[in-house]
Amino acid sequence: MRIAAARERKHDERRVAIVPDTVGRLSRLGVEVVLEHGAGAAAGFSDAAYAEQGATLTDLAALAPDLLLAIGPPPGEVLDTVRPGGLVVGLLGLATDDAILEAVAKRGLGAIALELLPRTSRAQSMDVLSSQASLAGYKAVLVGANLLGRIMPLQMTAAGTLTPAQVLVLGAGVAGLQAIATARRLGARVEAFDVRRAAREEVESLGARFLEVPLDAAEGEGGYAAAQSEEYLERQRALLAERVAEADLVVTTAQIPFRQAPRLVSGAMVEAMRPGAVVVDLAADTGGNVEGSRPGEIVETNGVRIVGASNLAAELPTHASQTFARNLANLVELMVTDGELHLDDELVRATLVVDGGEIRWSRPA
Amino acid sequence: MRIAAARERKHDERRVAIVPDTVGRLSRLGVEVVLEHGAGAAAGFSDAAYAEQGATLTDLAALAPDLLLAIGPPPGEVLDTVRPGGLVVGLLGLATDDAILEAVAKRGLGAIALELLPRTSRAQSMDVLSSQASLAGYKAVLVGANLLGRIMPLQMTAAGTLTPAQVLVLGAGVAGLQAIATARRLGARVEAFDVRRAAREEVESLGARFLEVPLDAAEGEGGYAAAQSEEYLERQRALLAERVAEADLVVTTAQIPFRQAPRLVSGAMVEAMRPGAVVVDLAADTGGNVEGSRPGEIVETNGVRIVGASNLAAELPTHASQTFARNLANLVELMVTDGELHLDDELVRATLVVDGGEIRWSRPA
């Protein structure tokens, strides 16, 4: 049995699904590990580094894997090298485009969509969405800090004091928490907001302030209901508008699986920001948390720059490949025993969107 | 008496020599403060913000200052607006080009070159070289971190451990120390080198390791002489070569006033670095600490990128202008009493390179 990774074909995709570190782990499953020449080059992994770990390097046409490990949905030219009955594993991008399913099915192959992995603790070590979101959160702050006309930390010098930057993070999931941690490392004052009030503890443990509209004590037992009221939500929007206007850097990270990203920052809120302020929208690819953001572009309006961050993890290709490849190796260990594929684990079943040429998945309503 | 700042004309110079915060301080000296329309725009300071502090906004032709505050050497069109007998203050760039002296002298003006300010504690609050170098050191690490394919801090996750980046800072002056502090903030392991062994304490207080070739104990009293021996210097070069090869990010900051920057990193040393590694050369403008670096460019060789950092402080225009303008206000307070210029302070004398149309400075041998 042969496991392989090809060079990713998508523009700006610098990651690779097998790294030298995971070659040994995969080999120990009784399989042959093969990489296309140059597959890891953009991530900093040379052909020699793979060969040293026992991998075979070859041309795309000779890849011929039974199990193809990929970052994004492989194009036809790559699918064509997969052996009959073979399986493709990757982030298939089903949220925005499911044409890959037909392409896999018509070749009689199978496919596993990593984005469908349940968010359970057992699946955590395979969760590429988490591992990549964490890196994207770090990178979002670096990109933002690098665009600011000011430094992040407090600085007291002979020329007087420079005040710390004010950073606001919207959405305190994996990416948001890493953004908070990175901004705090750099010495910024950080505030964060999340609709899940349970996020407060994690936010505060990172030294950031959790933004919350206080529930009027008089509301008593009706607190939860009050928190859903139109008046409460209006006060929440007003609070966010005020905090966005005060921020030097806003990082937005709110995503909803298979849905348009929620609009958190309106054009009017951007207009109220200071010239020189920066907004990094991590949800730009799925519609954007910020009005006016465009994927892969930096839009300037009234001196405020909105970074439409697209696939930020790929801009940390070395570490992103390392974590992605380890996630994949963990999953493969569930699927391969003594050089043979077994697709009966519940995590595999939950993600197997094409099985033996048959599509088993349809878009959630 | 009128003090003014024009918009800086040099390409990529986004700083401004008066900020809204210093308008009040200057006004209290009994002078009129005037700015060219849009002078602070690139640094994030609007005309309205200046006007609010009592400054007058005008066109360049009507600027007509007795004292012109500038970042870099003003071009002829700006010098032409200075009143007869007026004075120009700025970083005049004498190290690389002293044509400004003739331009000032032939107009019968005076000039103060901030780069000649003595490095004494009394001059510290006016020391623009220090205030700008500190910002450049911070920015160098941000720029470098943003080019790396890996994150800076240690990260322990469900997908395993990511090791911290290894950062090497060469030269532990103001810029170097700020680079060390910033890399440490971001969670990197940091090593630093400086020919001044006295730098050890400051380097270590920032949590970095000071690189030093141990003096053989047997050398005893001859320690200092031994440290100057060819054999010792050779061992020092070997140590640096080894540490450069291990680094993910190298920041070089060694400058010698009015001299070519010392060559610290050879082409062979760059060649021994890992693909994906980054070198930021803060001395690119004065010949470069790194072989192959080019000012204002990113040169890639064998997968290693060398950033020829040019005028990095100007990429933090808001804070750089704030500190520069405060430095200038401190100096102006030494020179102006009751609305009149007095050029008798020793710090003014030390920097007054053109006085009433007469050049008083010549390049050190």
Cβ contact B162–A323 (<8 Å): yes
**B residues 6..35 contacting A (CB < 8 A):** 14
- Residue environment code for B124-162, b if the CB has 16+ CB neighbours within 10 A, otherwise e: bbbbbbbbbbbbbbbbbbbbbbbbbbbbbbebebbbbeb
Q: Is the pLDDT assigned to residue A121 strictly greater than 80?
A: yes
Q: Which residue from B minimizes the CA distance to A187?
A: B185
> Is A146's Cβ below 8 Å from some Cβ in B?
yes
Banded pLDDT at A229 (limits 50, 70, 90): confident
Please answer whether residues A42 and A75 qualify as being in contact, where contact means their C-beta atoms are separated by less than 8 angstroms.
no
Cα-Cα end-to-end distance for chain A = 38
Angle at alpha carbon of residue A250, lines to A245 and A251, rounded to 5° = 155
Dist. CA A342–CA B36, nearest whole Å: 74
- Classify strands A352-355 and A189-193 as parallel, antiparallel or unpaired: unpaired
Cβ contact A150–B330 (<8 Å): no
> Is A316's Cβ below 8 Å from some Cβ in B?
yes
Would you name the residues of B annotated as active-site residues?
Answer: 119, 124, 127, 130, 224
Banded pLDDT at A258 (limits 50, 70, 90): confident
- A322-349 residue pLDDT tens: 999 999 999 999 999 988 999 999 999 9
- As a whole number, mean pLDDT of residues A131-141 equals 97
Q: How many CB pairs under 8 A join A and B?
A: 116
* CA A81 from centre of chain: 28
Residue with tokens 């451990």: B161
Residue with tokens 């050089």: A339
Dist. CA B131–CA B327, nearest whole Å: 8
Dist. CA A89–CA B33, nearest whole Å: 67
Tell the burial category of A365 from Cβ atoms under 10 Å away from its Cβ (0-12, 13-18, 19+): exposed
Q: pLDDT value at position A227?
A: 60
Which residues lie across from A278 on neighbouring strands? Answer: A249, A305
Q: Which residue from A minimizes the CA distance to B187?
A: A185
> Is B326's Cβ below 8 Å from some Cβ in A?
yes
| Phi-psi label, residue B48: left if phi above 0, alpha if psi -120 to 50, beta otherwise | alpha
**Residue spans in chain B of domains classed CATH 3.40.50.720:** 2-127+317-358, 132-315
Cβ contact A148–B327 (<8 Å): no
Domain range A2-127+317-356, its CATH number among 3.40.50.300, 3.40.50.720, 3.30.420.40, 3.10.20.740: 3.40.50.720
> Is B322's Cβ below 8 Å from some Cβ in A?
yes
Q: pLDDT value at position B257?
A: 86
How much of chain A, in percent, has pLDDT values that exceed 70? 96
Q: pLDDT value at position A225?
A: 55
Tell me how close the Cα of A151 comes to any Cα of chain B, in angstroms: 7
**Residue spans in chain A of domains classed CATH 3.40.50.720:** 2-127+317-356, 133-315
- As a whole number, mean pLDDT of residues A195-212 equals 95
> Is B319's Cβ below 8 Å from some Cβ in A?
yes
> Is A160's Cβ below 8 Å from some Cβ in B?
yes
Tell me how close the Cα of B364 comes to any Cα of chain A, in angstroms: 28
CA neighbor of A68 nearest in space, from A34, A21, A23, A115: A34
DSSP 8-class letter at A101: H
Would you name the residues of A annotated as active-site residues?
Answer: 119, 124, 127, 130, 224
> Is A163's Cβ below 8 Å from some Cβ in B?
no
**B residues 80..139 contacting A (CB < 8 A):** 124-125, 127, 130-131, 134-135, 138-139
> Is A46's Cβ below 8 Å from some Cβ in B?
yes
Cβ contact A157–B322 (<8 Å): no
For B132-315, CATH number?
A: 3.40.50.720
**Residue B293, SS3 per DSSP:** coil
Q: pLDDT value at position B217?
A: 45
Tell me how close the Cα of B217 comes to any Cα of chain A, in angstroms: 40
- Classify strands A352-355 and A358-359 as parallel, antiparallel or unpaired: antiparallel
Dist. CA B242–CA B246, nearest whole Å: 7
> Is A317's Cβ below 8 Å from some Cβ in B?
yes
Confidence check on the interface: ipTM exceeds 0.90, yes or no = yes
Tell me how close the Cα of B235 comes to any Cα of chain A, in angstroms: 30
In angstroms and rounded to an integer, the radius of gyration of the C-alpha atoms of chain B is 23
Residue with tokens 């390179």: B353
Q: Is the pLDDT assigned to residue A181 strictly greater than 60?
A: yes
Please answer whether residues B162 and B140 qualify as being in contact, where contact means their C-beta atoms are separated by less than 8 angstroms.
no
Residue range A133-315 in CATH 3.40.50.720: yes
Chain A residues in contact with B316 (beta carbon < 8 A): 148-151
Chain A residues in contact with B182 (beta carbon < 8 A): 186
Chain B residues in contact with A316 (beta carbon < 8 A): 148-151
Dist. CA A320–CA B151, nearest whole Å: 9
**Residue A24, SS3 per DSSP:** helix
Q: pLDDT value at position A217?
A: 45
Chain A residues in contact with B127 (beta carbon < 8 A): 158-159
Banded pLDDT at A159 (limits 50, 70, 90): confident
Integer CA distances (angstroms), B1 to B78, B143, B340, in order: 18, 42, 7
In angstroms and rounded to an integer, the radius of gyration of the C-alpha atoms of chain A is 23
Overall CATH class of domain B2-127+317-358: alpha beta
**In chain B, which ranges are continuous DSSP H helix?**
20-27, 47-52, 76-79, 99-105, 128-147, 174-185, 200-205, 223-227, 230-246, 267-271, 317-335, 346-351
DSSP string, A325-351: HHHHHHHHHHHEETTEE---SHHHHHH
Chain A residues in contact with B145 (beta carbon < 8 A): 142
CA neighbor of B19 nearest in space, from A23, B30, B42: B42
**Residue A205, SS3 per DSSP:** helix
Of B319 and A363, more confident: B319
> Is A38's Cβ below 8 Å from some Cβ in B?
no
DSSP string, A250-275: EEE----TTSPPP--B-HHHHHTSPT
- As a whole number, mean pLDDT of residues A143-169 equals 95
Residue with tokens 């070198």: B279
Structure tokens at A17: 């699904």
* C-beta atoms surrounding B226 within 10 Å: 16
- Residue environment code for B173-198, b if the CB has 16+ CB neighbours within 10 A, otherwise e: bbbbbbbbbbbbbbbbbbbbbbeeee
Cβ contact B134–A125 (<8 Å): no
> Is B44's Cβ below 8 Å from some Cβ in A?
yes
Integer CA distances (angstroms), B349 to A234, B123, B224, in order: 62, 13, 37
Interface test with A, best of B46, B139, B150 (most A CBs within 10 A): B150
Interface test with B, best of A47, A166, A185, A333 (most B CBs within 10 A): A185
**Residue B362, SS3 per DSSP:** coil
Integer CA distances (angstroms), A43 to A290, B278, B284, in order: 30, 14, 27
**A residues 182..221 contacting B (CB < 8 A):** 182, 185-187
**A residues 328..357 contacting B (CB < 8 A):** 330
Q: Detail the DSSP E strand segments found in chain A.
A: 2-5, 32-36, 56-58, 67-69, 87-90, 110-113, 155-157, 160-162, 166-170, 189-193, 209-210, 249-252, 278-281, 298-301, 304-308, 336-337, 340-341, 352-355, 358-359
Q: What is the residue-level pLDDT of chain B in tens, covering all 365 positions?
A: 999 999 999 989 999 999 999 999 999 999 999 999 999 999 999 999 999 999 999 999 999 999 999 999 999 999 999 999 999 999 999 988 999 999 999 999 999 999 999 999 999 999 999 999 999 999 999 999 999 999 999 999 888 899 999 999 999 999 999 999 999 999 999 999 999 889 999 999 999 999 998 776 444 455 455 566 888 888 889 999 999 999 999 999 999 888 899 999 999 999 999 999 999 999 999 999 999 999 999 999 989 999 999 899 999 999 999 999 999 999 999 999 988 999 999 999 999 999 999 999 998 87
